[in-house]
Every structure is written in C-alpha cells, then in structure tokens.
Structure 1
Amino acid sequence: MNDDLPAQLRRLGLSPQEAAIYLTMLRTGRTSASGLAAQLDWRPEEAERCLGRLIGIGLAAQFGTDGTEAAPVDPAIALDHLSHTRVAELRQAHCSALNAYRDYRRSVHPQATEDLVEVVTGGGIADRILQVERAAESDVLRFDSPPYHIPAGANPTELRNLERGVEYRVVYSRSAVENRVYYTTNIQPCIASGEHARVLPTVPVKLTVFDRRIAIVSMSFVEAEVNDSLLVVRPSSLLSALTGLFESAWRSAFPMHLSDRVPPALRPLHVRILELLGTGVTDDAIAQLLGISRRTLSRNLEHLNHRAGTSTRFQLALYAVRNGWI
C-alpha cells in the first residue's frame, strides 16, 4: 500500500482518524465499528463516529441486516466530491484573504485608491513582477523595452507559462531587439517556444497586462533615474484603456517571426535576416545580432534580393509581407 496515502487522504479533507479507519478497512475488508475500535485500540464511539463519516461521504457502505457492518467501496465518486469540496474551500479562503487585505489597506489609507492602483518601489519590484507572472492563467500582453527590473537574460517564468498554454503577445521596442544579449537569451527562446512577437521603433509605455485583470506599468529610462517604481493596476477604466492601447499598437507593429508560407528552401540564416529586416534595426545591428560580419550580411541580402527580384532592404521586406512570408 502507498505509504503516502494517509497524507493524501488528509489533503482531500479526511481527518487523521478517518484516514486511519479507511486504511484499516482496506486491509480487513468488511468489519464493524467495534472491530475497528479493537484493532486501533480506540474507544468504540470514536470509531463509530469516523465510520459514519466515511459512509456519509461514500467511501464505505453499510452491510448486514442491522447495518452494523461496513466495507470500503469504489472511491472514485467520493474522492471527486472531496476534491471539488477542497477546491471550493481554497477559493473561499483566497477570497477571504483578499478581502481582509483590502480592508487593511482601507484602514491604513482610507482616502487612497489602492484598490485600483498600487505603487511598488525598491527591492519589492522584481518579486512582485515574478509573483504576478507566475499566476497568469490565459494570456499576457506586453510592451517590452529597457530598462529591466529583472536582469535582462532568459525568462524561465514565461517559458514555463508558454509550456502550460498561456498565450503571450509582446511588442518589442527597437532598443530591446538591438541588445544582442537580450535578443539571444530572451527574445529568440521565447519566440521559439510560442510567443507572438512584433516590434515598433518605440513603445508608448512599459506595460504588461495579465489575463486582462491586472497590469504592471514600469518606468521608462528617464523616469527610472528619478523614481524606481512600478504601478500595479487592477480592474478599472484605466486597465481597460491600457489594454486598448496595447491592442492598437499590436495592430500597427511589425511581426518578428515568419509565417509557414516562407519558402522551405531558404537557408536558416536567410530566415533570421528576414525576421530582423522589419524591426527597423540597422544592418550593422543585424550583423551583430546574428554574429556575422557586415560583408557576410551584404552577400546574403544580395542573395535574398535576387530571389525576390528586389534591390533594397525595404523592397525585400515589402515583398516578404505581400507574399505572406511575414
């Protein structure tokens, strides 16, 4: 028998005594409350009470003409009921904790609007960002631009979220894409894992919206020098406006990854070059991001222009868009 079963049963809502009765019944089969009391060295009324609880939730059934005996039954329905009950209890506890915290905030700042907007400063910023992102359930919308409160490297939290089905749509600023370390360790792995990415010369604000129910607004370069803080925005007209701002920018931004209509004969390097052409970064920046020389980039651009029948990088990017590559 699984040694961890008593702990698992307690997690589902059984008391230690009820779990002990159930495990004893699994070993002995059909028995009575007095028989269980004798085996466990309990008072008969205690065994009778626990057995009655197991019968009540469907983990045991009564037998015999007088119903004094019981035996364990298929636990599927009962365990489903217990798990749903525990989920409901956890949700109620979650709501109670949130309500208690909001009452506390109102008592400290009765005239403030912290139910809608919270200011986080200093050392608590990175922890709050990670806390909110780990709790994302369905979708994340983001304007990505330096500076970063979390070191500008890999984002394992996003990768885990993508793996469990959370959708990410990110609009990068050109300055984010031009950062070779950030492009290589963060942007590329996230796109490869399913992130939908686009780019603009600049983004209007540093913003992330989680599940359309909470947003984080960070400071720009200039603001961060004066006030290192972020705003946590909860459901309100402000949150709706920020979400609308993202959707408007998303529609006008340039995709950073190619569609499945790109010719399969293109070399991987050519695909990477096409991905970066639309970002607006310079040829020198593209060469640096790809780890190739300026001359190698020019030679590959000539090859792509020849294939597309174009003569400039702008015409090449336009051709890629019109032909559904991007």
Structure 2
Amino acid sequence: MSDDDRSAPLLRLGLSEAEAAAYLAMLEAGPTTAKALARRLGQALAVTERTLTRLVHLGLASSHGPDGSGVAPIEPSLGLGHLANARAAELQQAHLAAMDAYRTYRRQVHPQATDHLVEVVTGQQIVERIMQVEDAASTEVLRFDTPPWHTGGTPNPIEIRNLERGVAYRVVYSKSAVENGDYYACNIRPCIAAGEQARVLQSLPVKLAVFDQRLAIVSLAFGDAEVNDSMLLVRPSSLLRALTGLFETSWRSAYPLHFGERVPTALRPVQRRILELLGSGITDESLAELLGISRRTLSRQLEQLNRAAGATTRFQLALYAARKGWI
C-alpha cells in the first residue's frame, strides 16, 4: 500500500498532510525524537516540532522516555477513535446549524408560521438531543423529574459537570422518583451532594426541563408514557414562558429535599437522611429501604427526633425542622 493510500483516511478524519505523514512515520519507527523524525521526514526541526505538538493535542502522540524529551505514537484505535468522534460531533453541529438556517428561512418566507417554535423528537434521537441540550447549558436548568426516564434512570454525569462549572440546578422530584431506590442512590443523592437544589411533590403533571430560559424539553409523565414515546423542544415563545411559570409555581409549593444551613451537627447521619426524606410523602417501608435500615430502627430514630423537637407527628417534626432552618 502506498503512502498516499495510507494517509487518505487520516486526511478524511481531519489531519493535515504533514500530520498524517509524521504519524505514519512514527508508527513505522516507534518511539523517537523530534530531531530524528525531522531527519526521517526531510524537514526542518521547527516544522516537525509544531506538527508533533498538534499530534499530541489530537491524542495521536505522547511524550516518551525518562525525561519526556522523546515522542511515541498512540495506539491507532484510541487516537483515531477520538478523531472519528470529533468529526461525528462536527457533522451533528453542521446538521443543527442547517436546521436553524432552515427555520430562519421559514420565518422570513412565512412570517406567520409557528412550526419553528416547537419541534417533535422521537425514537433514538430523544436521548441524544437531551444530552446535547443539557451539555450546552450555561446558567440555569429547571427540571421536573419523574418516571419513566428516557436515559433509563442512570447517573447524570453531565449535571455533575455543569454544577462544577457553575450552572445552577433547581429540580422538583415526584414521590415516585424518590421512592425508586436505585435512582435515588445513583442520581438524586449525587446531584444534591454536588450542589443541586432539590424539592419534592406528590406528583408532577409532565416531565419538563428548561435550559437558560431559552429552550424547554417536555415529555409525558408516567401514566401516558407508553402511549407516545416522543418529546417536544419548545423555543422562546408564550408557551415557554407558561412552562417556566408552571415550574416556578410548583417549586414554591414543593417540599425541600436537602438541608439548609442551620442543621444541628449533633444529628446522626441516619437522622439527617430521615429529615431529608421526611417531606417526600413516601411510606415508612420505602423510607427504610432507601436508608438501608429496618422498620424498627426507623421507628426508633423517628421517636428520638420527635422527642428532640417536642413533636408527636411527622407533620409537626417537619414543621419544627423547617422553622429552625434545618431544611
């Protein structure tokens, strides 16, 4: 196979001719130095050094040797896989840009048309679009979280990353979401620990997420989900404002699912978690299961909390905790 035949796929993945030639030369020579590679390629050392810097950035080469002065090629399935994913992402972005351009055209040619305000997404595209939109959030995400989950009720690393970079999250969970022990452990608790503000209501009317006040995702809640596996993307409009208003109204009436700043340090860890879940409305059986304790242990801990608060019912205990700023 000629050098041209071997380099053609690399060029299609986005490498320049110089980068493709240097990478192929490293695959033949193995670990080397910039000076030796420059001699092999018949070019100036400065040119080769710039090319190697680019290959390292692309994940196709790495430093080598005890002092890091050498360079070695990265195994092709890893480095080229990274490039392939990058090209796929660029194609997806190009597709989205083309769709946006088409919508702009529609608005100009048909000023009265409103189909650009709401987009229906179905099938396999649903999870992809959810992840793309959430990954692009920059300021705030508002969410109604209730089963069933398009992502299968798995952890949400995108939210964790967004919280770390300063994106605010306010989430209202349904009782059924909190009662799901696996989902509570892998998704809800880690997100709250990372900084999510969480509240809970007995039930939610829809599944909803609003991103940066500019785009909403709406899908069906548990009872209707089997009828229509679809999702709506709602862009700036009176409908988006109405959905945001629905969230804010629900947020004000929901019960906090995490502590405030004045929770007493004397509380045991299990008592802290009991108080966190107290307003969710879940049964004692579900509460004990989520905590990993027996019903008898739960009853004993509740009795101790009631005595400390001078309460006789769950409601009085929750009211006391709220007044004291614990939750």
What is the TM-score normalised by the length of structure 2?
Answer: 0.68
CA contact (8 A) 2:155 2:187 kept: yes
Measured after TM superposition, the shift of residue 307 of structure 1 is 1.0
1:116-131 alignment, distance < 5 Å: 116-131=117-132
Structural mapping, 1:1-326, within 5 Å: 97=98, 99-103=100-104, 113-326=114-327
8 A Cα contact 2:126 2:230, kept in partner? yes
The amino acid across from 1:244 in the alignment is G
Residue 313 of structure 1: CA displacement?
1.5
Larger Rg: 1
CA distance in 2, matches of 1:226, 1:323: 45
Cα separation, 1, equivalents of 2:191 and 2:100: 36
In 1, are the aligned partners of 2:146 and 2:222 still within 8 Å (CA)? no
Tell me by how many angstroms 1:306 deviates.
1.2
Which amino acid letter does the alignment assign opposite residue 183 of structure 2? Answer: Y
In the superposition, relative to structure 1, how do residues 119 and 267 fare at CA in structure 2: closer, same or farther (>3 Å)? Answer: same
Cα pair 2:121 2:231 within 8 Å, conserved: yes
Contact 2:205 2:221 in 1 (8 A): no
- Hey, what's the Cα distance between the residues in 2 that align with 1:101 and 1:182? 39
Q: Deviations over 1:179-208 (max 9, x none)?
A: 000001100000000000000001121100
The alpha-carbon distance between structure 1 residues 99 and 221, as it changes in their structure 2 partners (threshold 3 A), is: closer
Equivalent residue of 1:137, what SS?
Answer: coil
Post-superposition Cα deviations, 1:261-297, rounded to whole Å, max 9, x if no partner, equal 1111111110000011111111111101011110110
| SS of residue paired to 1:120 | strand
Q: CA deviation at 1:222?
A: 3.0
What does the per-residue CA deviation read over 1:119-148, in whole Å, with 9 as the maximum and x for residues that have no partner? 001111000100100000000000000011
- CA change 1:255–1:152 in 2 (3 A) is same
Distance 1:149 1:112, change over 3 A: farther
CA–CA distance in 2 between the matches of 1:172 and 1:321? 19
- Distance, in Å, in 1 between the alignment partners of 2:229 and 2:214 is 24
Partners of 1:105 and 1:217 in 2: CA distance: 23
What SS does the corresponding residue of 1:184 show, helix, strand or coil? helix
Alignment correspondent of 1:87: none
Q: C-alpha separation between the residues in 2 aligned to 1:167 and 1:209?
A: 12
Pairwise CA distance, 1:325: 1.0
CA gap of 1:296–1:167, structure 2 versus 1, over 3 A, is same
CA distance in 1, matches of 2:173, 2:119: 25
1:26-76 deviation digits (Å, cap 9, x = unpaired): xxxxxxxxxxxxx9xxxxxxxxxxxxxxxxxxxxxxxxxxxxxxxxxxxxx
Letter of the 1:148 counterpart? W
Residue 60 of structure 2 is matched in structure 1 by none
Q: How far, CA to CA, are the matches of 2:96 and 2:122 in structure 1?
A: 26
Count of aligned pairs between the two proteins: 237
Q: Which amino acid aligns with 1:117?
A: V
Is the alpha carbon distance of 1:96 and 1:221 closer, same or farther for their aligned partners in structure 2, counting shifts above 3 Å? Answer: closer
Distance across 2 between alignment mates of 1:99 and 1:229? 21
CA distance, structure 2, for counterparts of residue 222 and residue 248 of structure 1: 22
Tell me the CA shift for residue 94 of structure 1. Answer: 11
Give distance in 1, aligned partners of 2:97 and 2:207. 32
Letter in 2 for 1:143: F
What's 1:80 paired with? none
Per-residue deviation at 1:111? 8.1
How far does residue 215 in structure 1 lie from its aligned partner after superposition?
0.1
Query: 1:255, CA displacement in angstroms?
Result: 0.3
| Alignment RMSD | 2.6
What amino acid sits opposite 1:305 in the alignment?
N
Give the whole-Å Cα distance in 1 for the aligned partners of 2:268 and 2:308.
Answer: 12
> Counterpart of 1:278 in 2: which secondary structure?
helix
TM-score for the superposition, normalised by structure 1: 0.68
Q: Which amino acid aligns with 1:194?
A: G
Measured in 2, the distance between the counterparts of 1:281 and 1:300 equals 16
Question: How far did 1:100 drift?
Answer: 2.0
- For structure 2, the residue ranges without an aligned partner over 5 or more in a row are 1-17, 19-43, 45-93
1 CA distance for matches of 2:272 and 2:100?
Answer: 52
AA aligned to 2:255 is: F
1:95 & 1:292 partners in 2: Cα distance?
49
